[in-house]
Amino acid sequence: MKTNTRLLHDRFQGDQANTGATLIPIYQTSAFGNETAEGLEAIFHHKAAGYAYTRIGNPTVASFEQRINALENGVSAVAFASGMAAITSLCLAVLSSGDEIVASAGVFGGTIGLFADLEQFGITTHYVDECTPEALEQVITQKTRMVFAEVIGNPRLDVLDVPAVSSYLKDRGDILFVADNTLATPILAQVLDMGADISIHSSSKYINGSSNAISGVLVDGGRFWWNAEAFPAMKDWKKFGPYALASKLRQKILMDMGPCLSPMNAFLNSVGMETLGLRMERQCSNALALAAALEAMDGIVSVNYPGLASSPWHKTASRVLSGGYGAILTIRLESREKAFQVINRLKYAINITNVGDVRTLIVHPRSTIYAHTPTEACEHAGVTEDLLRISVGIEDVEDLIQDFEQALQP
């Protein structure tokens, strides 16, 4: 199957066996009964398949996980209440006090905040300006247990050379390579096939597509074998082989901490992902056209988009991404005041902190998402006072271009 067919049919048949419905039902229930005490006992002891409590597993959520797993060519997928919950759960599942993370400086502000929070548990993060083998060589130590980077950085828009980093790390066996694939999505980048160990998403964004449900999802490639000395937190789970991480996330993190995805949000994200391929095609096309038009407009200091030849990451993006360069671009104006003026004048772009909607969205990151981020971290992430981030939607691009033209008038 090709991509758009897979989105509709791979490991998914709706509720064909029971009612013939083309969509999986919303199992909006807290718990599941069982005909016998022995049957429920077997489920709780992981000796039989089945559902007991939605915090641990739910058929609607499971359907969403299976569809994402199929799209990513993974071994297992686990869904969470948000993208941040997915990253947090991964860190809590595999890291121990004294471990170190190496992350790209351009990662999302919320991720930077989380990594700062982990310091109170003895987990330290070191940042590299760009996540390349050369940069990693300078900061990786014997304590490094995770390399974390975004395939397309938000909002820096640096593009991760996934094959190069995975090749550099593959012979070590003691460092987990996590690729945040939120902005690229599996439509543009099959990161597990390129060698990443884990693909992680804020599926509230492009996978959902309509800004109507928060969720996150982690997909495991199943190739990392959890060196027990390097990852003592995974020692008791290594026996599950390629399902070790998924088993711990379900049986410990979801069970004990409860960052589970709700059935309703799983349903909304499942419906949204069916059009992911079509939306990404249109949004990437619109983003490229808008970026090119903005480069020619007066009043703009610079335009940053991986699809433009002027982008320092254009060559990497052309190798790593397939079918488009993403739907996010940033522009720098002459001042913070000019940036605010443009936002206030726009008719179609909505001033909002989300990305990935079918509508075009715009935000001033420094005063919102990065409002509480240290100045040095903002500089590393490319967040300046005059920067605007634009998440391009599926509108007619001619209308978007005209809207920005009028907003940029003196």
Domain residue spans of the chain: 3-273, 276-407
Q: What is the pLDDT of residues 89-109, one digit of tens each?
A: 999 999 999 999 999 998 988
Cα–Cα distance, 244 to 76 (Å, whole number): 10
Cα–Cα distance, 395 to 283 (Å, whole number): 9
Six-digit token string for 152: 């397309």
CATH 3.20.20.70 fits 276-407, yes or no: no
User: Strand pairing of 387-391 and 361-363?
Assistant: antiparallel
CA atoms within 13 A on the CB side of 72: 34
pLDDT of residue 347: 97
CATH 3.40.640.10 fits 3-273, yes or no: yes
> Is the pLDDT reported for residue 200 higher than 80?
yes
Q: What is the pLDDT of residues 319-355, one digit of tens each?
A: 999 999 999 999 999 999 999 999 999 999 999 999 9
* Residue 27, SS3 per DSSP: coil
Angle at 29 between CA 21 and CA 43, to 5 degrees: 95
Cis bond leading into 155, ω under 30°? yes
Q: What is the pLDDT of residues 19-44, one digit of tens each?
A: 888 889 999 999 999 999 999 999 98
For residues 349-375, b (16+ Cβ closer than 10 Å) or e, as one string?
A: bbeeebbbbbbbbbbbbbeebbeebee
> Is the pLDDT reported for residue 137 higher than 80?
yes
Which of 117, 192, 201 minimizes the C-alpha distance to 152?
201
User: pTM for the complete prediction?
Assistant: 0.95
Q: What average pLDDT is seen over the chain?
A: 95
CA atoms within 13 A on the CB side of 349: 31
CB 194 within 8 A of CB 163: yes
Q: What is the pLDDT of residues 300-325, one digit of tens each?
A: 999 999 999 999 999 999 999 999 99
> Is the pLDDT reported for residue 171 higher than 90?
no
pLDDT of residue 379: 86
Q: What is the pLDDT of residues 376-399, one digit of tens each?
A: 888 888 899 999 999 999 999 999
